[in-house]
């Protein structure tokens, strides 16, 4: 007697000791421990069918044979798979490779460049969200694959990168391939070449050697913060700042070495802006980025004029430095060669208070561009309190839209 088992059934096989069934069921039947093979079952039926086909017992025997064959096929999983096929109760057999399409992973990376959509970056680390499924990546368009671990991987070596990523399980099933491109650039640009000169009462710093797609920046607080410049030079007028730093930033966000310039050096023009509204100090023409800086106190106002050439417009006017115990100063802009509006605000383009809370705020942001085009513009800046106030205002021009 032997048990024949499937996942849900158990059959006790009994070999009779005598009589007709003893002769029929004496057929040698191979089994490898757990399962009766369907090949043996077929031989069993064939032997039954060859015995006394016209005997009264033939119908019964054929019926018995068919039942035995059906049981063997069910118990052994269809046609059988030979001696190595074993089914463990409760175990789920993984699907064959290619039978399942997995959900594709989601990629993310930190584009450190000036344009966060161009894929030029100094950071080669990519984040991978795969919802707990294993994943792998290829850097040679799928010729070779590297298994990923955790939630990220890093590409190295400057240059263009074509990155493929897909999910993969232990059965060999994969997801659709996620294809991304980036340009990795980890090399800082060279320091810009700077030539300084004076044009009237404006100190001009002309920059050269700026990489294609790069920008230049300046710092007024010993490199703690940086502001982007426009054009190819910086013009500075006043007597409030002590030092300015200049550098370039390439497309990937790499910074060059910074160069500092002492604005208190005797070779640099230190000019106190005019206190006469009808004779304002004048910024040098032909530049796009200016710094107006000075120190004001009650009874001491600064008036500075610049000219917006044809084809350009005033892009922004921002407070970029403010040092005073008095948090409130006053400013106004009049579109004129002199500031003769007095206190008539209807003749002013913009006016209001300025203080620490206004740092980096563009006071022109709500104005239509039609009012910012060609012509003269004069600034009035004043502190009405008794506390000295050191300030710096950035003026930027751009091409007209």
Query: What tens digit of pLDDT does each residue of 327-378 get?
Result: 999 999 999 999 999 999 999 999 999 999 999 999 999 999 999 999 999 9
What pLDDT is recorded for position 76? 42
C-alpha neighbours within 13 Å on the C-beta side of residue 326: 19
What pLDDT is recorded for position 322? 98
What pLDDT is recorded for position 37? 46
Of the candidates 108, 106, 112, the residue with the CA atom closest to the CA atom of residue 131: 106
Of the candidates 225, 386, 390, the residue with the CA atom closest to the CA atom of residue 323: 390
pTM assigned to the model: 0.72
What pLDDT is recorded for position 116? 86
Of the candidates 254, 288, 32, the residue with the CA atom closest to the CA atom of residue 121: 254
pLDDT bucket at 232, cuts 50 / 70 / 90 = very high
Looking at every residue in the chain, the average pLDDT score rounds to: 84
What pLDDT is recorded for position 99? 66
What pLDDT is recorded for position 319? 98
- Identify whether the C-beta of residue 362 lies closer than 8 Å to the C-beta of residue 350: no
Q: Is the pLDDT of residue 187 over 60?
A: yes
Measured distance CA(251)–CA(211) in Å, rounded: 8
Structure tokens at 138: 């290829």
Structure tokens at 255: 């910074």
What pLDDT is recorded for position 401? 87
Q: Who wins on pLDDT, 35 or 173?
A: 173
> At 357, is the secondary structure helix, strand, or coil?
helix
What pLDDT is recorded for position 87? 37
- pLDDT tens-digit series, residues 237-246: 999 999 999 9
Strands (E) located in 233-277 = 233-238, 243-249, 259-262
Structure tokens at 312: 């350009």
| Eight-class DSSP state of 371 | G
Residue that is written with structure tokens 């922004």 in the block: 316
Report, as an integer, the average pLDDT of 179-188: 96
Measured distance CA(254)–CA(385) in Å, rounded: 43
What pLDDT is recorded for position 62? 54
Report, as an integer, the average pLDDT of 118-141: 95
- pLDDT tens-digit series, residues 207-230: 999 999 999 999 999 999 999 999
pLDDT bucket at 25, cuts 50 / 70 / 90 = very low
Q: Which helix (H) or strand (E) holds 353?
A: strand 350-354
Q: Residue 323 pairs with which residues in a beta bridge?
A: 390
Radius of gyration of the chain (CA): 43
Measured distance CA(66)–CA(224) in Å, rounded: 90
First and final C-alpha spacing in the chain: 97
What pLDDT is recorded for position 7? 41
What pLDDT is recorded for position 282? 98
> At 305, is the secondary structure helix, strand, or coil?
strand
- pLDDT tens-digit series, residues 262-307: 999 998 999 999 999 999 999 999 999 999 999 999 999 999 999 9
Structure tokens at 327: 């948090």
Between 58-75 and 38-49, two packed helices, what is the crossing angle to 10 degrees?
180
Give the percent of the chain with pLDDT over 90.
73
Q: Who wins on pLDDT, 249 or 60?
A: 249
| Eight-class DSSP state of 185 | -
Q: How far is CA 135 from the centre of its chain?
A: 20
103-to-60, 90, 109, 130, 212 alpha-carbon distances in Å: 56, 27, 20, 8, 40
Q: SS in 3 state form for 22-70?
A: HHHCCCCCCECCCCECHHHHHHHHHHHHCCCCCCCCHHHHHHHHHHHHH
What pLDDT is recorded for position 94? 56
Measured distance CA(386)–CA(379) in Å, rounded: 21
What pLDDT is recorded for position 247? 98
- pLDDT tens-digit series, residues 56-105: 455 445 544 554 444 434 444 444 443 333 334 444 455 555 568 899 99
Of the candidates 147, 167, 171, the residue with the CA atom closest to the CA atom of residue 102: 167
């Amino acid at each position: 007697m032997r048990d024949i088992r499937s996942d849900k059934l158990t059959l006790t096989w009994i070999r009779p000791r005598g009589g007709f069934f003893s002769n029929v069921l004496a057929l040698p039947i191979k089994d490898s421990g757990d399962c009766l093979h369907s090949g043996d079952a077929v031989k069993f039926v064939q032997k039954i069918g060859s015995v006394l086909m016209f005997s009264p017992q033939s119908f019964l025997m054929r019926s018995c044979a068919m039942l035995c064959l059906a049981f063997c096929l069910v118990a052994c999983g269809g046609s059988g798979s030979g001696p190595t096929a074993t089914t463990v109760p409760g175990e789920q057999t993984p699907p064959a490779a290619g039978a399942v399409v997995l959900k594709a992973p989601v990629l993310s990376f930190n584009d450190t460049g000036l344009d966060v959509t161009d894929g030029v970056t100094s950071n080669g680390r990519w984040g991978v969200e795969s919802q707990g499924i294993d994943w792998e990546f290829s850097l040679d368009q799928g010729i070779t694959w590297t298994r990923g671990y955790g939630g990220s991987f890093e590409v190295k070596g400057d240059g263009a990168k074509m990155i493929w990523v897909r999910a993969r399980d232990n059965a060999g099933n994969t997801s659709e391939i996620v294809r991304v491109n980036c340009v990795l650039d980890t090399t800082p640009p060279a320091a810009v070449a700077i030539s300084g000169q004076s044009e009237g009462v404006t100190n001009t710093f002309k920059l050269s050697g700026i990489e294609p797609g790069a920008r230049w920046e300046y710092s007024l607080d010993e490199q703690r913060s940086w502001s982007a410049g426009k054009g190819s030079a910086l013009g500075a007028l006043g007597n409030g700042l002590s030092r300015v730093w200049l550098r370039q930033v390439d497309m990937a966000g790499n910074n060059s070495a910074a160069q500092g310039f002492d604005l208190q050096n005797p070779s640099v023009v230190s000019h106190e802006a005019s206190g006469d509204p009808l004779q304002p100090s004048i910024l040098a023409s032909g530049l796009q980025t200016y710094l107006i800086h000075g120190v004001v106190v009650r009874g001491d106002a600064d008036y500075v004029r610049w000219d917006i050439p044809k084809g350009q417009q005033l892009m922004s006017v921002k407070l970029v430095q403010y040092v005073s115990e008095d948090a409130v100063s006053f400013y106004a802009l009049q579109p004129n060669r002199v500031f003769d509006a007095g206190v008539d605000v209807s003749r002013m383009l913009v006016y209001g208070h300025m203080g620490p809370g206004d740092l980096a705020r563009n006071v022109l942001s709500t104005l239509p561009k039609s009012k910012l085009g060609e012509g003269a513009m004069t600034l009035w800046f004043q502190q009405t309190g008794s506390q000295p106030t050191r300030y710096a205002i950035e003026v930027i021009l751009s091409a007209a839209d």
